[in-house]
Amino acid sequence: MQNYNSKFKINKDFNIVIVGVGGQGLITLLQIIAEAALSEGYDIKSSELHGLSQRGGSVEVHVRFGKKIYSPLIPQGKADLIFGFEAQEALRGAYFANKNTSFLVNKFIIPIPLEKSLSEEQIAKTLNSIGKRVVLLPAADICREKLGTDVVSGIYLLSLAAFKNLIPINPDSILKAIKKIIPEKYLELNVKTFDLAKKAKDV
Amino acid sequence: MLNKSNKKIILLGNEAIVRGALESGVQFVSTYPGTPASEIGNTFFKIAEKAGVYFEFSTNEKVALEAGIGASFSGLKTLVAMKNFGLNVALDALLPFVYTGTKGATVIIVADDPSCHSSAQSEENSRGVAFLAHIPILEPSDPQECKDFVKLGFQISEKYNIPVIVRTTTRVAHQKMPVVLGATKNTKSKIQKGKFVKDPKRFITLPPRVLEMKKELLDKIEKIRNLSEKDTLRINLNSQKTAIITSGISYLYVMEALNELNLSLPVLKLNFFYPLSEKRIKDFIKKLKKVLIVEELEPFLENEVQRLAKEANCKLEVVGKKLLPEIGELKPEIVTQAIAKFANKKYSPANGRYRISVPKRYPQLCPGCPYWLVVSAIKKAVDTNKVIFGGEIGCYMLFGNPPVKLQDYLSCMGSSAGIAHGIKKASGQKIIAFVGDSSFFHAGIPALINTVFNKSNPLIIVLENETTAMTGHQPHPGAPVEPNGIKIEEIVRACGVKNVKVLDPINQGEFIKTIREFMAKPEVSVIVSKRPCIFVKK
């Protein structure tokens, strides 16, 4: 898998944009990534939004790690990975993409009130024309079917990203961070989600 | 948050502020919640008892500051936190406090929100208050500095008996990074008592003493300026003729941009916005041909440098808002572009091709929110084209977004009823004014009394959901931690309002009937719409 000989797996900053709709748990995912990156010795910066913008509106959070990070915001076109918790929001997040960017997107549409939703085909086509590696998968459906709830879709996507080498962090570090961040009550469900992603990594 | 020291943990800017206060031995903390400052109160709410710190959510920011002033006068180390608009509310109490000065060291946190991510009403730049109040303002750029500057603020306050503002912005307050922890001083789990010792010369601002106090204040500021001179950071010690002056979050974007452009321009980072490091700036600009001032919003710093350049280097070209926007927050790509232009370096952003048009997704009331029931009743009860709807600050300001669209004006906390009264007097048109429960206690009551005293007849709907929902579900006087808060309907009646009903909006029929009945009344009417927020735990 990865080369663990050097202290860091990456020489440049690694930039992750997470996009979705307020209330989908984006900040929890950000916390897990930050904690996992810290455990691997990286410097970290992240930026999130609270309050008004969280109430079901478009939400975009940033997390960056590397040797030394200054700005908490990722510059336009500088994302290495874009997590889309919602497919239409993933398109909005393309502002941060370049031709080497990977997309990992929940094939899941939350309609925008009074607007016609974009079709999954349209979204897939557009994303494929932008990024290098585009993974669109029904994480919400998978989690609902196998675990009985889709609240863990984000954890599923993140775990999958680690197993698929879309993120230069050891899956073990992600699991440790999940155990540190997720409250005791929900931990078992989240660990199960991580295991589910492990089994699905080759899909 | 409490015990570990010499460790590096990931903290949000606001959490780092709490930690900085604990490491300074803070004893008294008061706040009114407001994004992007809310997590300061939320964190203290959780840990205060264990840390031996007195903590309260006050009724509004002015009252929070006044509580803090009382604690400081009694010798306690005090922290007061608020968002920018809270500072406006508290301003009346702030100015005399800077004159009297502190007894217990006092730090005031003010969080600005450039781009108005979580703010209606205006894009406020609270740095301006320095010119009005002569209060020192420190500007951290990241969570580590949030912690360090709070400690510095307490030290300055301790030494010069003056309150100090630590001003953050959204991208500082809601930024996370690993922060190195120091030892906390709050080792006692018992809340410490202060003592107010009578000292009229110190605490009474009556003239002619007040003008002596102003003189003392201005003297203090010059002493603190000496500290400010030493507390700047110079990066890239070469002697180029072009350079950058910056502070706060903008500093991080400058460093990002210089790396991206592979430039090594000298940078002067200011930690104090007020009093400004004038000597240091003059020294820095003396031999320059041009300097770029990188700051968000109004060109306060640019104007100051312009002024100093007249004395230090009158040929200096001072560039700022010519290359940077005055509206909206800065972003790394904006700063990179500005610096590239300033330094005549070619730069094209990584892409501009992927700005895909997706319809705007507005924030919404939560599914199951009791406010939907109020909206539904109103839409059935009245012709919404013929009624004016007064909005206010809270979740219900989302009434302005589609599909609800029940909002014809929106201003500050407590203003829906105040403005409704004016419209009524001026035009006699039909009005429904919304006010949340926390807003009602914050600033709604004087406006309600005014409708009685000066006789107007709007319908005021108090949306009682038993929490301060928008900012993260903090308690308020009507819904304190222990049950049985102050009853809003009793206050309304005591203000002299005759038409008052407490209704659960789930009873749509009665709600609709009451709206119609109250709209026809010649005096002010109040419906207290009582149904808890879906996040209130019972």
Tell me if B285 sits within 8 A of B313, measured CB to CB. Answer: yes
pLDDT band for B189, please (50, 70, 90 cuts).
low
Among the residues of B198-242, which ranges form H helices? 200-203, 209-230
Dist CA B416 CA B442 (whole Å): 13
Which tens digit of pLDDT belongs to each residue from B35-62? Answer: 999 999 999 999 999 999 999 999 999 9
Contacting residues of B for A73, CB less than 8 Å apart: 171, 253, 331-332
Kindly state the helix (H) or strand (E) to which residue B169 belongs, with its residue range.
strand B164-169
Q: In what order do the strands lie in the sheet with B78-83?
A: B54-57, B28-31, B78-83, B106-112, B164-169, B137-138, B272-274
Q: The domain containing residue B520 runs over which residues?
A: 371-530
Q: How many domains, in total, are found in chain B?
A: 3
Tell me if B275 sits within 8 A of B136, measured CB to CB. Answer: yes
Task: State the amino acid at position A157 in one-letter form.
Answer: L
Residue B386 domain-assigned (yes or no): yes
Dist CA B497 CA B520 (whole Å): 15
pLDDT computed for residue A5 by the predictor:
38
| In a shared domain, residues B63 and B210 | yes
Which stretches of chain A score pLDDT less than 50?
A: 1-6
Tell me if B168 sits within 8 A of B174, measured CB to CB. Answer: no
pLDDT band for B4, please (50, 70, 90 cuts).
confident
Tell me if B84 sits within 8 A of B111, measured CB to CB. Answer: yes
Q: Which CATH number fits domain A14-200: 3.40.920.10, 3.30.950.10, 3.60.60.10, 3.30.465.10?
A: 3.40.920.10
Q: Is the pLDDT of residue B225 over 60?
A: yes
Residues 6+ apart with CB under 8 A from A133: A102, A103, A166
What whole-number percentage of chain B has pLDDT above 70? 98
**Size of chain A, expressed as the number of residues it contains:** 203
Which pair of structure tokens corresponds to residue B227? 């500290």
Residues 6+ apart with CB under 8 A from B231: B152, B271, B272, B277
| In a shared domain, residues B376 and B398 | yes
Characterise B4 by phi-psi region: left (phi > 0), alpha (psi -120 to 50), beta (else). Answer: beta
pLDDT computed for residue A2 by the predictor:
42
Residue B348 domain-assigned (yes or no): no
Which pair of structure tokens corresponds to residue A18? 């997470």
A50: distance to nearest CA of chain B, Å? 7
Q: Specify the pairing of strand B242-247 against strand B290-294.
A: parallel
String of DSSP letters for A107-154:
----PPTTSPPPPHHHHHHHHHHH-SEEEEE-HHHHHHHHHS-STTHH
Dist CA A93 CA A91 (whole Å): 5
A118: distance to nearest CA of chain B, Å? 8
Which tens digit of pLDDT belongs to each residue from B447-479? Answer: 999 999 999 999 999 999 999 998 989 999 999
Which residue is associated with the tokens 């897939």?
A: A124
pLDDT computed for residue A56 by the predictor:
80
3-class DSSP assignment, residue A43: strand
Provide mean pLDDT across the span B353-369.
83
Q: Which of B324, B342, B360 is the last residue of a domain?
A: B342
Residue of B12, B354, B402 with shortest CB distance to A114 = B402
| In a shared domain, residues B24 and B110 | yes
- ipTM value, please give it: 0.93
| In a shared domain, residues B317 and B398 | no
Task: State the amino acid at position A73 in one-letter form.
Answer: L
Dist CA A202 CA A191 (whole Å): 19
Q: Is the pLDDT of residue B407 over 90?
A: yes
CA atoms in the 13 A half-sphere facing the CB of B188: 9
B153: distance to nearest CA of chain A, Å? 24
Residue of A21, A45, A52 with shortest CB distance to B177 = A45
User: Within an 8 Å CB–CB cutoff, is residue B193 touching chain A?
Assistant: no
pLDDT computed for residue B354 by the predictor:
67
* pTM summary value: 0.96
pLDDT computed for residue A6 by the predictor:
43
Provide mean pLDDT across the span B421-431.
98
Kindly state the helix (H) or strand (E) to which residue B94 belongs, with its residue range.
helix B84-100
Which tens digit of pLDDT belongs to each residue from A132-191? Answer: 899 999 999 999 999 999 999 999 999 999 999 999 999 999 999 999 999 999 999 999
All structural domains of chain A with their residue ranges: 14-200
| In a shared domain, residues B90 and B170 | yes
Residue B360 domain-assigned (yes or no): no
Query: How big is the CA angle at B103 (ends B97 and B107), to the nearest 5 degrees?
Result: 65
Tell me if B25 sits within 8 A of B186, measured CB to CB. Answer: yes
Q: In what order do the strands lie in the sheet with B232-235?
A: B232-235, B267-270, B242-247, B290-294, B317-319
String of DSSP letters for B308-358:
HHHHH-TT-EEESTTTS-SSS---HHHHHHHHHHHTT-----S-STT----
The Cα-based distances of A175 to A139, A167, A200, B533 in angstroms read: 18, 14, 16, 34
Residue B350 domain-assigned (yes or no): no
What CATH number is associated with residue B403? 3.40.50.970
Contact A51 B403 (CB under 8 A): no
pLDDT computed for residue A156 by the predictor:
95
pLDDT computed for residue A1 by the predictor:
35
Q: Is the pLDDT of residue B339 over 80?
A: yes
Which pair of structure tokens corresponds to residue A174? 């992600």
Chain-centroid distance of CA B160 in Å reads: 25
Name which of A78, A72, A27 is nearest B330 in CA terms: A72
Among the residues of B262-324, which ranges form H helices? 278-285, 300-312
pLDDT computed for residue B187 by the predictor:
61
Among the residues of chain A, which ranges form H helices? 26-39, 87-92, 120-130, 139-147, 153-163, 171-181, 184-200
| In a shared domain, residues B207 and B236 | no
Which pair of structure tokens corresponds to residue B59? 């009724």
pLDDT computed for residue B402 by the predictor:
84
DSSP state of B476: B
String of DSSP letters for B9-52:
EEEEHHHHHHHHHHHTT--EEEE---TTTHHHHHHHHHHHHHHT
Which tens digit of pLDDT belongs to each residue from B98-127? Answer: 999 999 999 999 999 999 999 989 999 999
Contact A98 B259 (CB under 8 A): no
Min mean pLDDT across B182-196, B259-273, B387-401 is at B182-196
Q: Which of B230, B263, B278 is the last residue of a domain?
A: B230
| In a shared domain, residues B245 and B135 | no
| In a shared domain, residues B108 and B157 | yes
Min mean pLDDT across B21-30, B66-75, B344-353, B369-378 is at B344-353
| In a shared domain, residues B318 and B394 | no
Dist CA A57 CA B450 (whole Å): 37
Residue B2 domain-assigned (yes or no): no
User: Within an 8 Å CB–CB cutoff, is residue B468 touching chain A?
Assistant: no
Kindly state the helix (H) or strand (E) to which residue B530 belongs, with its residue range.
strand B525-530
Q: Is the pLDDT of residue B325 over 90?
A: yes
Contact A52 B403 (CB under 8 A): no
| In a shared domain, residues B71 and B111 | yes
User: Within an 8 Å CB–CB cutoff, is residue B471 touching chain A?
Assistant: yes
Burial of B394 from C-beta contacts in 10 A (0-12 / 13-18 / 19+): buried
Dist CA B112 CA B249 (whole Å): 12
| In a shared domain, residues B206 and B307 | no
Name which of A189, A188, A91, A176 is nearest A146 in CA terms: A189
Residue of B10, B332, B355 with shortest CB distance to A44 = B10
User: Within an 8 Å CB–CB cutoff, is residue B121 touching chain A?
Assistant: no
Dist CA A171 CA A179 (whole Å): 12
**Size of chain B, expressed as the number of residues it contains:** 538
Contact A77 B472 (CB under 8 A): no
Which pair of structure tokens corresponds to residue B291? 């300097």
Contacting residues of A for B398, CB less than 8 Å apart: 55
Contacting residues of B for A58, CB less than 8 Å apart: 360-361
DSSP state of B442: I
The more confidently predicted of residues B360 and B528 is: B528
Contacting residues of A for B352, CB less than 8 Å apart: 76-77
| In a shared domain, residues B68 and B33 | yes
Min mean pLDDT across B92-106, B144-158, B173-187 is at B173-187
Contact B470 A47 (CB under 8 A): no
Dist CA A202 CA A164 (whole Å): 8
Task: State the amino acid at position B124 in one-letter form.
Answer: E
Q: CA-nearest residue of chain A to B395?
A: A52
